[in-house]
Amino acid sequence: MNMNTNEHNKKAEQLDLHSTSNENEKLTTNQGLKINNNQDSLKAGERGPSLLEDFILREKITHFDHERIPERVVHARGSGAHGVFKLTKSLAEYTKAKFLTELGKETPVFVRFSTVAGSKGSTDLARDVRGFAVKFYTEEGNYDLVANNIPVFFIQDAIKFPDLVHAVKPEPDNEIPQAASAHDTFWDFISLMPESMHMIMWLMSDRAIPRSLRMMEGFGVHSFKFINEAGKVHFVKFHFKPRLGVHSVAWNEAQMISGVDSDFHKRDLWEAIENGDYPEWDFGVQLIPEEDEHKFDFDLLDPTKIVPEEEVPVQLFGTLTLNRNPDNFFAETEQIAFHPGHIIPGIDFTNDPLLQGRLFSYTDTQLSRLGSPNFHEIPINRSINTVHNNQRDGHMRQQIVKGKSSYEPNSIGGGCPFQAMMSEGGFTSQQERVSGVKIRERSKSFVDHYSQAKLFYNSQSAPEKTHLQNALVFELSKVTRPEIRERLVGQLAYIDTDLAWKVAEKLGVEVKKLEWLNQSLPADSNMIELQSEEREPHTKISDALSMKNTVKNTIKSRKIGFILANRADGGAVNDLKAKLEAEGARVELIATSVAPVKLNDGSELTPKHSLSSTASVCFDALAICPGEDSVKELMIAENKHLVLHFINEAYKHCKAIYFGKDTEVLYHNSNVAAKQHEDPGITTWEDGDPVDKFIQAIAQHRVWDIEKERNA
């Protein structure tokens, strides 16, 4: 069975039943009446008033007036794709969930990636967490893993979620800023919430500005539970690891991309799938036997903590592949409704108070967003297992349930639908012993807010640390209230004094630890009570936390910009292009205009871009194509500053650049020549094996290690 096509994909087959195409069809009203004139309304005389009778006009305008639904209160901006999850190793020892036990089983999925804070029309490149929500259409019902690209969360208890979201969203008086966390209300809240500091380390790292949705990890965040056939329980943390490695852009680049192509991630995902470069992730789990729950120096129920991979390795069990773009954004990506409470036998919740609150929120929000308790009947949300129950009616009900009884027990309907026994796949919750006093308090085991923030910071490479410091400086420079900056720097001092000093210096504030700050806080602030002593993490460094260690030796699907003009060296251009494409890269031509370029061998190539219609930030690497006349054309006044800007920007952003034969003049006029140092990212006509060197450089993603030298 192969689900790379839609053959045997039950979800695709189901969606097909609801799909339609207008090809070769006549225009009709919603009642199926063929329309003869869609250009003019019905009027009393050529220049007279429109008639109320015009039901065609009324239907069209009324439908249009109601086309919008509320955007998601968070994660409003999203990009989705269909795909398949394939199990490569059975998890039967740990769970009875069938899609995780039957080796080789393929399960249809729909994945929606999102930013969190911005509105539906905001930029893709905001500094933000990315949602990574996966709906598995299993034969036992829908299973949703509503994940993020960061493995921890800002808060420990769902009751704080509205506060967090109100703080990060645009400020309520002037609705500024859009899709950005660099403002007073966000940092005011964060500076008063020590529990968010681990998350802040991730958010200020380059993980929050991914190069591509295809190059992000996915994390279930909470500990969940696996239950096997014998009833044995394991805590489980879910991971998706991208086959292309985890990569980011530079912050300066992110800001520029937001201007040049605010759909950068959406476009990248769409094009990769259209090109057959199907995004792939390894699916992994960390498994902890129930009896080992208390063996860690943190609480497994605390969503601000990871389980370091050095303590519990991630074991890989499957592959997630996205292989089909949606046919209709609204019908699929917008109307899909995820819910962490959509689970199946063999998977269960833990008492993580953030997860417990989420279990309420998601259905509730769909009711307001999609407008009816029947949102499960929208094609993208339908289970491939048919639905049989006694829930009835409501807005937009579609299922026509036959028979007289809609209650249970009944005899009129022969007792149907029957409850399912466990052996028949009936869901039962884990029989967990629970006892306790009714109490509105935080567990003392949650009171350690800095040790894993230290672990994260200490595990970063030198360039990653610098980027993180710069991100904090950028964000806090936008904060107008000095006391908020100071309070946040006071928090950083608990993580790393050097980090705190570096940030403080650029903000012009002093480093004062929290004891001092506590004096100025309201008595009921949980910061006083929840402030932890300076604890050290059990694991000091975790290689898995640095993106540097995820680099894969591949240039697959990387976008290489070829800069050329008329009379470029045809043989050399085609040879370089062929070699890069053979490695899976995507080459796009950039010329002085989009008119066809004549090469010196008489052949023609049509550029996709002109120097002024795109920018170097949209590419992973640049090749300045060989050819004396081509270079001469690029060097004439109207082109020169555009080409040099292209090269200098790519250089600043630490990309690989290839200078072909005869391009010395461009090289010497650019910033590349001005810097005197060994640069593994630069390939020139003087290099012995230039194409191989160029390929190696692209595969490294960026030469972050010499960023300082490049930008000196």
Tell me which stretch binds ligand HDD (CB under 6 A): 98-106, 352-360, 414-422, 689-697: 352-360
Within 649-688, the residues that bind ligand HDD by CB under 6 A are none
Taking CB under 6 A as the criterion, the residue among 241, 358, 558, 710 binding ligand HDD is: 358
DSSP tally for the chain: helices H, then strands E: 21, 18
If you search the block for the tokens 């910033």, which residue do you land on?
671
CA distance 301 to 363: 23
Taking CB under 6 A as the criterion, the residue among 362, 427, 667, 685 binding ligand HDD is: 362
577 C-beta neighbours (distance < 10 Å), count:
18
Q: Does 303 engage in binding with ligand HDD (CB under 6 A)?
A: yes
Dihedral angle sign, alpha carbons of residues 185, 189, 191, 197: negative
Nearer to ligand HDD, 338 or 651 (CB): 338
Question: Whole-number minimum distance, CB 200 to ligand HDD, in Å?
Answer: 15
Taking CB under 6 A as the criterion, the residue among 114, 156, 383, 452 binding ligand HDD is: 114
Cβ-contact 86, 106 below 8 angstroms: yes
Question: Whole-number minimum distance, CB 207 to ligand HDD, in Å?
Answer: 14
194 C-beta neighbours (distance < 10 Å), count:
23
Taking CB under 6 A as the criterion, the residue among 82, 112, 135, 548 binding ligand HDD is: 112
Question: Whole-number minimum distance, CB 338 to ligand HDD, in Å?
Answer: 4
Question: Whole-number minimum distance, CB 545 to ligand HDD, in Å?
Answer: 18
CA distance 155 to 196: 6
Q: Does 133 engage in binding with ligand HDD (CB under 6 A)?
A: yes
Per-residue HEC secondary structure of 171-220 comes to CCCCCCCCCCCCCHHHHHHHHCCHHHHHHHHHHHCHHHCECCHHHCCEEC
- CA separation (Å) from 91 to 308, 326, 392, 427, 536? 21, 30, 37, 18, 34
Q: Does 467 engage in binding with ligand HDD (CB under 6 A)?
A: no
| Main-chain dihedrals φ then ψ at residue 68, nearest 5 degrees | -95, 145
Question: Whole-number minimum distance, CB 112 to ligand HDD, in Å?
Answer: 4
Tell me which stretch binds ligand HDD (CB under 6 A): 140-148, 224-232, 379-387, 673-681: 140-148
Question: Whole-number minimum distance, CB 413 to ligand HDD, in Å?
Answer: 34
Nearer to ligand HDD, 81 or 97 (CB): 81
Taking CB under 6 A as the criterion, the residue among 72, 77, 207, 266 binding ligand HDD is: 72
688 C-beta neighbours (distance < 10 Å), count:
6
Dihedral angle sign, alpha carbons of residues 476, 482, 486, 487: negative
Taking CB under 6 A as the criterion, the residue among 84, 147, 370, 507 binding ligand HDD is: 147
Taking CB under 6 A as the criterion, the residue among 75, 127, 183, 376 binding ligand HDD is: 75
Tell me which stretch binds ligand HDD (CB under 6 A): 316-324, 355-363, 431-439, 634-642: 355-363
Question: Whole-number minimum distance, CB 125 to ligand HDD, in Å?
Answer: 18
Residues 6 or more apart from 254 whose CB is under 8 A from it? Answer: 125, 126, 127, 209
Cβ-contact 513, 213 below 8 angstroms: no
Q: Does 357 engage in binding with ligand HDD (CB under 6 A)?
A: yes
CA distance 249 to 124: 12
CA distance 396 to 61: 21
How many CA atoms are closer than 13 Å to the CA of 153, on its beta-carbon side? 26
Nearer to ligand HDD, 339 or 609 (CB): 339
Q: Does 131 engage in binding with ligand HDD (CB under 6 A)?
A: yes
Active-site pick, 75, 222, 239, 342: 75
Nearer to ligand HDD, 301 or 587 (CB): 301
Within 76-105, the residues that bind ligand HDD by CB under 6 A are 78
Question: Whole-number minimum distance, CB 369 to ligand HDD, in Å?
Answer: 7
Nearer to ligand HDD, 132 or 251 (CB): 132
Examine residue 463 and say whether the peptide bond preceding it is cis (omega within 30 degrees of 0).
no
Q: Binding string, 240-259, against ligand HDD, x = CB under 6 A?
A: --------------------
Nearer to ligand HDD, 201 or 657 (CB): 201
> Looking at this protein, which amino acid is placed at residue 411?
S
How many CA atoms are closer than 13 Å to the CA of 313, on its beta-carbon side? 3
Residues 6 or more apart from 584 whose CB is under 8 A from it? Answer: 277, 554, 555, 556, 557, 558
Helix (H) or strand (E) holding 465: helix 462-477
Nearer to ligand HDD, 111 or 493 (CB): 111
Taking CB under 6 A as the criterion, the residue among 27, 73, 367, 636 binding ligand HDD is: 73
Question: Whole-number minimum distance, CB 64 to ligand HDD, in Å?
Answer: 25
**Residue nearest ligand HDD (C-beta atom):** 131
Residues 6 or more apart from 374 whose CB is under 8 A from it? Answer: 394, 395, 396, 397, 398
| Nearest alpha-carbon partner for 197 in 441, 431, 450, 559 | 450
Active-site pick, 9, 142, 148, 381: 148
CA distance 251 to 257: 10
Q: What is the DSSP letter of 240?
A: E
Q: Say how far residue 670 (Cα) sits from the centre of its chain.
A: 35
Within 486-515, the residues that bind ligand HDD by CB under 6 A are none
Taking CB under 6 A as the criterion, the residue among 125, 158, 479, 591 binding ligand HDD is: 158
Tell me which stretch binds ligand HDD (CB under 6 A): 360-368, 590-598, 629-637, 687-695: 360-368
Buried b (16+ CB within 10 A) or exposed e, 89-128: ebbbebbbbbbbbeeebbbbbbbbbbbbbbeeebbbbbbb
Per-residue HEC secondary structure of 662-703 comes to CCHHHHHHCHHHHCCCCCCCEECCCCCCHHHHHHHHHHCCCC
Nearer to ligand HDD, 365 or 574 (CB): 365
Taking CB under 6 A as the criterion, the residue among 3, 12, 15, 74 binding ligand HDD is: 74
Helix (H) or strand (E) holding 640: helix 637-652
Contacts with ligand HDD: how many residues (CB under 6 A)?
Answer: 25
Q: Does 354 engage in binding with ligand HDD (CB under 6 A)?
A: yes
Question: Whole-number minimum distance, CB 712 to ligand HDD, in Å?
Answer: 40
Q: Does 148 engage in binding with ligand HDD (CB under 6 A)?
A: yes
Taking CB under 6 A as the criterion, the residue among 4, 14, 185, 365 binding ligand HDD is: 365
Nearer to ligand HDD, 57 or 530 (CB): 530
Q: Does 351 engage in binding with ligand HDD (CB under 6 A)?
A: no
Within 179-238, the residues that bind ligand HDD by CB under 6 A are 221-222
Is 148 assigned a catalytic role? yes
Length of the chain: 712
Contacts with ligand HDD by CB under 6 A lie at 72-75, 78, 112, 114, 131, 133, 146-148, 153, 158, 161, 221-222, 303, 338, 354, 357-358, 361-362, 365
Q: What are the residue numbers of the active site?
A: 75, 148
